[in-house]
Structure 1
Amino acid sequence: MATYTTDVAVIGAGTAGLAAERHARKEGATTLLIDPVFAGTTCATVGCMPSKLLIAAADAAQAVRQAIDFGVTAEPVIDGRAVLERVRLLRDDFARGVRQSIEELPKGTCLTARARFEAPGVLALDTGDRVEARAVVIATGASPAVPKPYEAVKDHILTNETIFELEDLPESVGVIGAGPLGLELAQAMHRLGVRVEVFDAGDRLAGLPAEASDALHRILTESFPIHLDCKPDPSASDTGAALTWDGGKTRFEKLLIAAGRPPNLSALDLEKAGLELDDHGTPVFDPGTLQCGDAPIFIAGDANHDRPLLHEASDEGTVAGRNAAAWPDVRRTSRKVPLSIAFTRPEAAVIGAIPDGTEYVCGEVDYGNQGRARVEGRAQGLARIYASAEDGRLTGAALCAPSGEHLAHLLAWAIQCEMTASDMLDLPFYHPVIEEGLQMALRDVCRQAGLSRPWQRNDEPLPGSDGGASED
Structure 2
Amino acid sequence: MRELACDVAVIGAGTAGIAARRAADKAGARAVLIERGPGGTTCARVGCMPSKLLIAAGAAAHSARNTDLFGIRVSGVSVDGPAVLARLRAERDRFVGGVFEGLDDLPAETRIAGAARFVDRDTLVVGEHTRIRFRAAVIATGSSPTVPGPLRGLGAGLLTTDTVFETADLPESLAVLGAGAVGIEIAQAMARLGVAVTVIDAGDTIAGLSEPDLADQAAAIFGVELALHRNATLEAAELEDGGVRLDWTDRQGRAQVTRAARVLAAAGRAPNLDALNLAAAGLHLGEDGVPDFDRRSLVCAGAPILIAGDADAWRPVLHEASRQGEIAGTNAAALAAGRAVAAVEPWTSLAMVFTHPQAAAIGAPYTADRADRLVGAMDFSDQGRARVDGHNRGGLRIWADREGRLLGGEMLGPAVEHLAHLLTYAVADGLTAQEAIDRPIYHPTVEEALKTALRGMIQQKDKC
| TM, length-normalised to structure 1 | 0.94
Moved more, 131-140 or 417-426: 417-426
Q: CA offsets, 1:176-206, max 9 Å, x none? A: 0111000000000000000001001111113
Instruction: State the 4+ residue runs in structure 1 displaced beyond 3 angstroms.
Output: none
Q: Cα distance, 1:362 vs. partner?
A: 0.4
Residue in structure 2 matched with residue 112 of structure 1 by the alignment: 113
Q: Which of 341, 353, 359 in structure 1 is aligned with 2:372?
A: 359
Secondary structure at the counterpart of residue 434 of structure 1: coil
Residue in structure 2 matched with residue 466 of structure 1 by the alignment: none
Moved more, 191-200 or 231-240: 231-240
Q: Which of 382, 389, 396 in structure 1 is aligned with 2:395?
A: 382
Q: Cα distance, 1:280 vs. partner?
A: 1.5
Contact 2:406 2:430 in 1 (8 A): yes
Moved more, 293-302 or 12-21: 293-302
| Whole-Å separation in 2 of the counterparts to 1:196 and 1:113 | 39
Q: CA offsets, 1:210-232, max 9 Å, x none? A: 22211211111122111111123
Contact 1:11 1:17 in 2 (8 A): yes
Secondary structure at the counterpart of residue 108 of structure 1: helix
Contact 1:422 1:451 in 2 (8 A): no
Contact 2:284 2:302 in 1 (8 A): no
Q: CA offsets, 1:79-117, max 9 Å, x none? A: 111100000000001001101111111331100011000
Q: Cα distance, 1:236 vs. partner?
A: 1.4
Residue in structure 1 matched with residue 455 of structure 2 by the alignment: 443
Residue in structure 1 matched with residue 432 of structure 2 by the alignment: 420
Does 1:316 pair with 2:324? yes
Does 1:47 pair with 2:47? yes
Superposition RMSD in Å? 1.3
Q: CA offsets, 1:24-66, max 9 Å, x none? A: 1100000000012252111000001000000000111111111
Secondary structure at the counterpart of residue 397 of structure 1: strand
Change (3 A) 1:127 1:103: farther
Amino acid at match of 2:379: D
Residue in structure 2 matched with residue 8 of structure 1 by the alignment: 8
Does 1:399 pair with 2:396? no
| Whole-Å separation in 2 of the counterparts to 1:279 and 1:359 | 32
Amino acid at match of 2:322: S
Residue in structure 1 matched with residue 28 of structure 2 by the alignment: 28
Q: Cα distance, 1:294 vs. partner?
A: 4.5
Contact 1:38 1:99 in 2 (8 A): no
Q: CA offsets, 1:206-258, max 9 Å, x none? A: 33222221121111112211111112321211120011223432210010100
Moved more, 406-415 or 147-156: 147-156
Q: Cα distance, 1:347 vs. partner?
A: 0.5
| Whole-Å separation in 1 of the counterparts to 2:463 and 2:91 | 50
Q: Cα distance, 1:127 vs. partner?
A: 3.2
- What is the aligned length? 451
Does 1:262 pair with 2:258? no
Contact 1:38 1:112 in 2 (8 A): no
Secondary structure at the counterpart of residue 272 of structure 2: coil
Identity of aligned residues (%): 47
| Whole-Å separation in 2 of the counterparts to 1:22 and 1:127 | 27
Does 1:346 pair with 2:347? no
Residue pairs, 1:72-83, within 5 angstroms: 72-75=72-75, 76-83=77-84
Unaligned 5+ runs, structure 1: 453-472
Contact 1:32 1:109 in 2 (8 A): yes
Secondary structure at the counterpart of residue 424 of structure 1: helix
Contact 1:13 1:38 in 2 (8 A): no
Moved more, 241-250 or 21-30: 241-250
Residue in structure 1 matched with residue 140 of structure 2 by the alignment: 139
Q: Which of 283, 289, 298 in structure 2 is aligned with 1:281?
A: 289
Secondary structure at the counterpart of residue 271 of structure 2: coil
| TM, length-normalised to structure 2 | 0.95
Amino acid at match of 1:175: V
Secondary structure at the counterpart of residue 383 of structure 1: strand
Q: Cα distance, 1:451 vs. partner?
A: 8.7
| Whole-Å separation in 1 of the counterparts to 2:284 and 2:463 | 48
Secondary structure at the counterpart of residue 153 of structure 2: helix
Moved more, 98-107 or 5-14: 98-107
Q: Which of 209, 218, 221 in structure 1 is aligned with 2:223?
A: 221
Amino acid at match of 1:412: T
Contact 2:381 2:394 in 1 (8 A): yes
Unaligned 5+ runs, structure 2: 249-253
| Whole-Å separation in 2 of the counterparts to 1:111 and 1:126 | 10
Residue in structure 1 matched with residue 17 of structure 2 by the alignment: 17
Secondary structure at the counterpart of residue 450 of structure 1: helix
| Whole-Å separation in 1 of the counterparts to 2:289 and 2:459 | 47
Contact 2:16 2:140 in 1 (8 A): yes
Residue in structure 1 matched with residue 68 of structure 2 by the alignment: 68
Contact 2:57 2:84 in 1 (8 A): yes
Does 1:150 pair with 2:123? no
Q: Cα distance, 1:150 vs. partner?
A: 1.1
Change (3 A) 1:173 1:60: same
| Whole-Å separation in 1 of the counterparts to 2:172 and 2:206 | 25
Contact 1:389 1:448 in 2 (8 A): no
Residue in structure 2 matched with residue 459 of structure 1 by the alignment: none
Contact 2:246 2:259 in 1 (8 A): yes
Amino acid at match of 1:162: T
Q: CA offsets, 1:329-354, max 9 Å, x none? A: 11100111000001111011100003
Q: Cα distance, 1:430 vs. partner?
A: 1.2
Q: CA offsets, 1:8-30, max 9 Å, x none? A: 00000000000000001100000
Amino acid at match of 1:394: L
